[in-house]
Amino acid sequence: MSQRSEPLPRIRVRPLTRANLSIQLTLLGLTLLTLYSFTTFDTRGIGLVEALQDMLNNFRLLLLEPRLRSVSFADLLEALFVTVGLGLLTTVFGAIIAFFLALFAAQNLAPIWLNNLIKGGTAFIRAVPTVLWVLFFAVAAGMGSVAAVIGMTFHSAGYLIKAYAESFEEIDAGVLEALRASGASWWQTVFQAVVPTSASALLSWTFVRFEINFSTAIAMGATAGAGGIGFDMFMASAFYLDLRELGAFTYAILVFAMALEWFATHMKARLGKSRE
Amino acid sequence: MALLQIEALTKSYGNEARALDQISFSIQAGEFVAIIGPSGAGKSTLLRCINRLVDLTSGDVRFAGVSVPTLRGGALRRQRTQIGMIFQHYNLVNRLSVLENVLHGRLGYKNMVQGVLGLYSETEKREAVRILESLGLGEQIYKRCDQLSGGQKQRVGIARALVQQPKMLLCDEPIASLDPNSAKIIMDTLQQINQKLDITVLVNLHQVDVALAYAQRIIGVNRGRVIFDGPPAELQQEQIQQIYGSESGELIFSLRERYAI
Amino acid sequence: MPSDPLKLRQIQSIAFFAILAALTYGSIVITKYDVVQGFTAIPRAFSWATTHFIPDEAAWRRLPRILEKLFETILMAVSSATTASALGLVVALLGATTTRPHPWFSLPARGIASIFRNIDVSAWALILLFSFGQSTYTGFFALFFVTFGFIVRVMVETIDEVGMASVEALRATGANYLTIISQSVIPACLPQLISWVLYMIETNIRSATLVGILTGTGIGFSFDLYYKSMNYSSASLVVLVIVVAVLIIEALSNVIRRAVL
């Protein structure tokens, strides 16, 4: 009875915290931007429904009837090796450069001004899309593998410096302190404590970057004259308009990329287990 | 009639040995029963067969006269609303507030639209707050669960079960992750719920001493079989050894002497 | 065979680096990479850049047009990331061990996502050109497919990580499937999802530049146009604008991430 005469205040279920509010605002903002974006699309008179139907037909052709015409199977393999080689080379070069610079970018290993200098520089390097790095170097070195290797190495190094430095910073401060207390020099500390403890993290980041670089190498073949399978795909698409040949190339990169991903997953699981 | 009646319950996973083998016992309304046994004895699986979080292989479970193994869909969900469950790791949504987690206990009563949108009546909310206050969490209702201590989290878990207005509580190792102080508070709370609210409590415990101190009846399980079923006073050291195998030691026995005082 | 584990490890390391060196050498040969030219090209490129690769007055006058293209590209990156993530979340819910309606759903859900993410965005653009020509749709769907595949992968992991415990608790209360998803899984995963969406927006802006070069749209097309006509000072302004945009969006994402988590 007393409840009816004097209604109790409503109880709020979800408190209006900063996190909840931020989530709602972010979702709202992204939704509005997306809806607005659809109104700005340059459709060039293409009807979406017909084009989507066409896309499904094309997928069928691409995936169910692949075959080679302008190149042989041996050519395809060679092109794939060129692309893989490009990915590997840039990952190795990037990793070597990144290892040394990351030591100076880690807060527990080098002075803070040096950390900030390197981290700022790598943020800039990463902000430039890889393709623009490659095209930039192509002006001085000409279109080809040299520009592709330098450009991709730049971006890889920028990415790996950040990843490596963060791995170094996770090292237990006590371990470093103990070595320093025993009179070890800076380089001794690095090779006796820093490298062994972070080796598996470095390895798995490097492999992640190799996966990225394999993809990038395809893209550079298509856009920046780096050759390999990306270039063949570009030719099949833009010049021969041959979807079925494009399908054969697609299968080649798909199989390789899935194998890499499978390997990475298993390596991660093994490293995780050995750490326990 | 017994509230819970289990007959020849058997559970096996694939071709492996039976996790539960021909388990039979019954529990009267209002009882406080502890199931003890070493880890891996099948205690957790047994509890989960009662509310069908795990499907049994053969046998029967009757709760309040209803045979559980054949229930499906809506009928199974209605059955589950009558049984509250408390977990070792609390199983809360850490990011949500205490009140939101407690109100989750009402979701079994909701239709699709109310449930998906999380619409609760004022009565339900007031009841949730009242239960939280009675468990000493009145100050914490808008705190995020990841900001609570282990003991507080478990009390939120208990509140979530109570707001279901259950006939029975299933507690799966409720104190295994808690420090001794918090563990005592949780066990005392369960005892009060049993005595004052007249809710039947079935609790899995690893520690014999706690079972001896709180339970009116103890069921000892090892390798999926019931080894002992009776009041704490009848539990002999020999049987403890049978239940726990080589794992049991003087520790258990000496603790028993302490609690016997 | 050396029995000393330290020695064994040393041999393993040496073998690893020897194989890596061989592979690297093989890569240099097969890609026809000229090491000497590679080293000399870097200083040449930068000294050339200081005189030619800086925006001049004519370039600055093109700024409004460049910014227009930039916004077009950013919008495409955002809309492809959000729509693909929404669809990706649904498929991840179907594929995750914790939330799948039936074990049979997992393999197709994860398999389709794997195909979509393992075909590179540039390859998607080349494929989609056949259907969508030089419209914004080509870039949109290329980014959409790759984002979709990526989001399914990471959200399956996230759902299984944060959802398992609370899903069990809500099932025990008798809540139905969609209620469990909307009241516990989504609230628990939402901050992670937002963080991944932001990450994909950052990635997509860089990828959109690449796709733009291939499909003749957005900021990538602007760059390509100036670059091919050797108007390097305008091209450098495009690069500058992209760098500033990416850095601002990264900073903004970090602010949102901190607020949301």
- Which pLDDT does position B258 carry in this prediction? 47
Mutate to test the interface with C, among B48, B102, B107, B168 (most CBs of C within 10 A): B107
- Which pLDDT does position A5 carry in this prediction? 52
- Which pLDDT does position A7 carry in this prediction? 62
- Interval C221-261: pLDDT, tens: 999 999 999 999 999 999 999 999 999 999 999 999 999 88
What span, in angstroms and rounded, lies between the C-alpha atoms of A91 and A130?
13
Q: How far is CA B187 from the centre of its chain?
A: 11
Number of domains chain B is built from: 1
Q: Is the pLDDT of residue C71 over 70?
A: yes
State whether C175 and B116 contact (CB < 8 Å): no
As a whole-number percent, the residues of chain A with pLDDT over 90 amount to: 54
- Which pLDDT does position C41 carry in this prediction? 85
Asked which of A182-186, B229-233, C68-72, C176-180 is least confident by mean pLDDT, the reply is A182-186
- Interval A3-28: pLDDT, tens: 455 566 788 888 788 888 999 999 99
Same domain membership, residue C112 and residue C153: yes
> Which contacts qualify for B191-195: CB closer than 8 Å, 24 or more apart?
B191/B32, B193/B158, B193/B162, B193/B169, B194/B30, B194/B32
Number of domains chain C is built from: 2
Question: Is position C38 within any domain?
Answer: no
Question: Facing residues of B172 across strands?
Answer: B204
Same domain membership, residue C16 and residue C83: no
Q: Is the pLDDT of residue C3 over 90?
A: no
Same domain membership, residue C24 and residue C64: no
SS3 B68: coil
Same domain membership, residue C26 and residue C151: no
Local structure of residue B9 (DSSP, 8 states):
E
Q: What is the pTM of this model?
A: 0.89
Q: B100: which chain A residues are within 8 Å (Cβ-Cβ)?
A: 13-14
Question: Is position C50 within any domain?
Answer: no
Q: A19: which chain B residues are within 8 Å (Cβ-Cβ)?
A: 95
B125 → closest Cβ in A13, A15, A19 = A13
Complex prediction ipTM: 0.88
Smallest CA–CA separation between C171 and chain B, in Å?
A: 7
State whether C217 and A26 contact (CB < 8 Å): no
Split at pLDDT 50, 70, 90, the class of A272 is: low
Instruction: Scan residues 85-104 of B and list those with Cβ closer than 8 Å to A.
Output: 95-97, 99-100, 103
Q: Distances from the Cα of A263 to the Cαs of A13, A257, A267, B5, C23, in angstroms? A: 46, 10, 6, 51, 18
Q: A22: which chain C residues are within 8 Å (Cβ-Cβ)?
A: 256, 259-260
Helix ranges (DSSP H) in chain A: 2-5, 18-40, 48-64, 73-105, 112-127, 130-141, 145-169, 173-181, 186-189, 195-223, 228-234, 243-275
Same domain membership, residue C98 and residue C26: no
Answer left, alpha or beta for residue B200, where phi above 0 means left and psi between -120 and 50 means alpha. beta
Q: C135: which chain A residues are within 8 Å (Cβ-Cβ)?
A: 41-44, 46
State whether A254 and C118 contact (CB < 8 Å): yes
Q: Is the pLDDT of residue A266 over 90?
A: no
State whether B100 and A14 contact (CB < 8 Å): yes
State whether A33 and C132 contact (CB < 8 Å): no
Q: A234: which chain C residues are within 8 Å (Cβ-Cβ)?
A: 126, 214
What span, in angstroms and rounded, lies between the C-alpha atoms of B76 and B68?
8
Whether C220 and C210 have beta carbons less than 8 Å apart is answered as: yes
- Which pLDDT does position B252 carry in this prediction? 53
Asked which of A237-241, B13-17, B208-212, C209-213 is least confident by mean pLDDT, the reply is B13-17
- Which pLDDT does position B247 carry in this prediction? 58
B115 → closest Cβ in C165, C171, C175 = C175
Average per-residue pLDDT for chain A = 88
A13 → closest Cβ in B95, B103, B144 = B103
Which residue range(s) make up the domain with C23?
5-33
The CATH number of residue B68's host domain is 3.40.50.300
> Which of these, A34, A153, A30, lies nearest to A94 by C-alpha position?
A153
Same domain membership, residue C179 and residue C64: yes
User: Mean pLDDT across the stretch A62-85?
Assistant: 90
Question: Is position C84 within any domain?
Answer: yes
- Which pLDDT does position C238 carry in this prediction? 95
Local structure of residue B94 (DSSP, 8 states):
T
Asked which of A253-257, A272-276, B143-147 is least confident by mean pLDDT, the reply is A272-276
- Which pLDDT does position A274 carry in this prediction? 54
Neighbouring chains to B with at least 3 Cβ pairs closer than 8 Å: A, C
Q: What is the fold, at CATH topology level, of the domain defined by A72-275?
A: MetI-like fold (1.10.3720)
Question: Facing residues of B86 across strands?
Answer: B171
Average per-residue pLDDT for chain C = 91
State whether C250 and A123 contact (CB < 8 Å): yes
Q: Is the pLDDT of residue C207 over 60?
A: yes
- Which pLDDT does position B251 carry in this prediction? 45
State whether A8 and B122 contact (CB < 8 Å): yes
Q: How many CB pairs lie under 8 A apart between chains A and B?
A: 22
The domains of chain A are located at 72-275
B125 → closest Cβ in A11, A15, A19 = A11
As a whole-number percent, the residues of chain C with pLDDT over 90 amount to: 71
- Interval A201-224: pLDDT, tens: 899 899 999 999 999 999 999 988
Mutate to test the interface with A, among B102, B125, B139 (most CBs of A within 10 A): B125
Which residue range(s) make up the domain with B153?
4-260
Average pLDDT of each block of 10 consecutive residues along chain B (261 residues)? Answer: 88 81 91 89 89 90 90 89 93 92 93 90 92 92 91 94 94 91 92 93 90 91 87 84 69 50 37
Same domain membership, residue C215 and residue C91: yes
Mutate to test the interface with C, among B104, B117, B158 (most CBs of C within 10 A): B104
